[in-house]
Amino acid sequence: MVRLITHNLLACHVKGCTSNNFPLQLQNVQIELREADFNPDFLKTFLPKLEWKALVDSAKELGDTSLPLEQPEMLDDEFLKNLHHVLLEIHIEEGNMICPNCKHSYPISNGIPNMLLAEHEIG
């Protein structure tokens, strides 16, 4: 399962591709929604590790516009529930992730992202 929480951690690592290589753009994706247990403690701990703009943009690419453009200071229940859904309940099963810089395409197949490169592409 590629959830947006994981997608928020993936960056292009092609040799020489070191700037504007994150977040990977989502293309031709098939998504599934699966309910997960709501866990506000986990969300609060993880929040500082997120690249917020990347998360908001990627959620938009999947048609979810529930997150505010700026990370709010007050973490109310409604915000946490939206965040929970975006991070943990949207599963990308198939598709491609394209580097915004070098355009390398990383496939997602059967819910598993493939970040492997050929030997000559590795930095």
Instruction: Note the residues at the interface with other proteins (CB under 8 A).
Output: 1-3, 5-6, 8-13, 22, 36-37, 39, 41-42, 45-46, 49, 51, 88, 106, 110-117, 119, 122
Consecutive H or E run containing 47: none
What is the CB neighbour count within 10 angstroms for residue 92?
23
Q: Shortest approach of other proteins to residue 18 CB, angstroms?
A: 9
Yes or no: say if 26 and 62 are a contact pair by the CB < 8 Å rule: yes
Residue nearer to other proteins on the CB measure, 19 or 65: 19
Q: Shortest approach of other proteins to residue 57 CB, angstroms?
A: 15
Q: Is 38 exposed, middle or buried (0-12, 13-18, 19+ CB in 10 A)?
A: middle
Residue (of 3, 114, 117) closest to 50 by Cα position: 3
Residue nearer to other proteins on the CB measure, 24 or 67: 24
Residue nearer to other proteins on the CB measure, 53 or 65: 53
